[in-house]
Structures are given as structure tokens and as C-alpha cells.
Amino acid sequence: MSGVAPPSESLPSVADVIARFRRALAGDAERPPDEMTSLLLELHSNNIAQWAREDSARRHDADDSAVAAAKRDIDALNSVRHRLVEALDAAFDAAISQVPSAPPSTETPAMAYDRLSVLVIRVHFTERAAGTGRPDRDGYEGRLPALYRQLAVAQEALEGLLDDLRVGRKRFVPYESFKLYGPPPNAE
């Protein structure tokens, strides 16, 4: 089939990335085998930090100054998140020979991995809450089947997107955030 991009063997498997995301939450800081995986783990680490700061802002005993400080930290982490998504999309764009005439996807690979990272974090903390002696643990345990289904569907969808990109059924335009907060353009 002419005009079809060759499969990229340089991309980590989605299942491997999910496993690495889970191990990172468990404190396993293994060395990434390649630059793409390193960027994905950096994004995941940033998402974990952002999750923690969001939790601290929601604490019932947090005073206004603590919430304001958390919000500033969350904005800074979100800026890093956008930079990492941009870097990841540039890496995916370099790794996959896209077919310019293919229909565009509505989501980029990095955006999908970002959502997958947050979902892995949500599953992790829901599992932890379900495994405690908390009086509301049954409610958390009840959420787990739906979260596991969401994770399986997200994995399948991302694998499908990557396959579509590899064979030329879809293409993506690398993400550019153009946020209005944070450092001005070209200030970095």
C-alpha cells in the first residue's frame, strides 16, 4: 500500500508505559530505556505532584494562604505539563512518519498519555482508599470496577490511535498550548 507510514518500532508499548506509571506510583524509580519513555515518566511524575498539590488545596484545614500557595504551585506544574505534552508530541511526530492526507485525529498521542497518566493515578489512590480502614472505603472499592474498565478502554483507544498513525489512517498535529499565564513566549 503506497503512502502508508512504516510501523515505528521505537515507541514503547502502551501496556509497558502503564506498568511503568504504576511502578512509579509504588516508588520504583527504574531507569527508562529510551528518551520517549523518559519524557512519559517525567509527565507522570509531574501529574503525581500536581495531584498532591490539588489534594492539599482541598484539605478542610487549609487556610487561605495555603490554598493560594497550592494554586500557584498547580499553575507552575500545569505549565510544565503543557511543555512536556508539547515535547512528547514533537517526539511522536519525529518517530512516526505521518501521512499528510490522512484525516486528523482530535487528540494527540501525548494528550492521550496525559489522560492515561491521570487515570492511573486515580486508580492508584482509589485502590489505596479502598484498602484502608476508612468508614467510606466500600464506596471507593465500588468505584474500582468502573475505573479498571476506563483504564482498559483508554489503553485500547491509545493503542488504536498509535496503530492508525503508524499505518496512515490518521494523523495528528503536535500540540501547542499557547497558555496566557506563566512566562511570556520565548522567555524560557
Tens digits of per-residue pLDDT, 121-162? Answer: 999 999 999 998 889 889 999 999 999 999 999 999 999 999
Where in 88-178 does DSSP place strands (E)? none
**Residue 66: predicted pLDDT:** 87
Is 172 within the bounds of a domain? no
**Residue 56: predicted pLDDT:** 87
* 3 state SS of 149: helix
Q: Residue 170 burial by CB count (10 A; 0-12/13-18/19+): exposed, middle or buried? A: buried
Which pTM does this prediction carry? 0.88
Number of domains observed in the structure of the chain = 1
**Residue 183: predicted pLDDT:** 61
Is 141 within the bounds of a domain? yes
Is 173 within the bounds of a domain? no
**Residue 3: predicted pLDDT:** 39
Is 148 within the bounds of a domain? yes
For residue 105, which of 154, 158, 152 has the smallest C-alpha distance?
158
Is 81 within the bounds of a domain? yes
**Residue 188: predicted pLDDT:** 52
Which residue ranges of the chain lie beneath pLDDT 50? Answer: 1-8
Is 84 within the bounds of a domain? yes
Full domain range(s) for residue 125 = 14-167
Is 184 within the bounds of a domain? no
**Residue 185: predicted pLDDT:** 55
CB 68 within 8 A of CB 116: no
Nearest-Å Rg of the Cα atoms of the chain is 18
